[in-house]
Structure 1
Amino acid sequence: MTPDGPAIRRVRRAQNMSLRTLQQLTGFDRGYLSRMERGQIRRSADHRVRTIADALQVKPAAITQEEKT
């Protein structure tokens, strides 16, 4: 999946969630999450994107750049 970093950041901030909280909910390194939000991670394993979506309580489509058919 192709994560949409700015979308992840928007959703996280809209929920008043810190990056540290997202780290705790996902178990992923805060640096990794920060790089993803800045668009430095172009591809990510599907399970990682799903884990982030679950932590943010949104569908994976809300935080990915996958083309809609």
Structure 2
Amino acid sequence: MQEPLEPQERLDRIVRDIAANMVAEVCSLYVLRADSVLELYATEGLNPNAVHLAQLRLGEGLVGTIA
């Protein structure tokens, strides 16, 4: 029986699977925090070192505008 994945491992797998199924080079998941900041939680195709460090405000950049 396989051990359950940690939350970060689950997010990484979900993003990787979405990118593969959509044949996309980049797929990222941002979470809207209580302070109205979008935080990068998982990515495929971007620098993985940016996870939990990259932040955007609502209305900032493409991601912030779409959110």
Normalised to the residue count of structure 2, the TM-score between the two structures is 0.29
Normalised to the residue count of structure 1, the TM-score between the two structures is 0.28
* Structure showing the higher strand proportion among its residues: 2
> Larger Cα Rg: Structure 1 or Structure 2?
2
- Looking at both structures, which has the greater relative contact order when contacts are Cα pairs under 8 Å and sequence separation is at least 6? 1
* Structure showing the higher helix proportion among its residues: 1
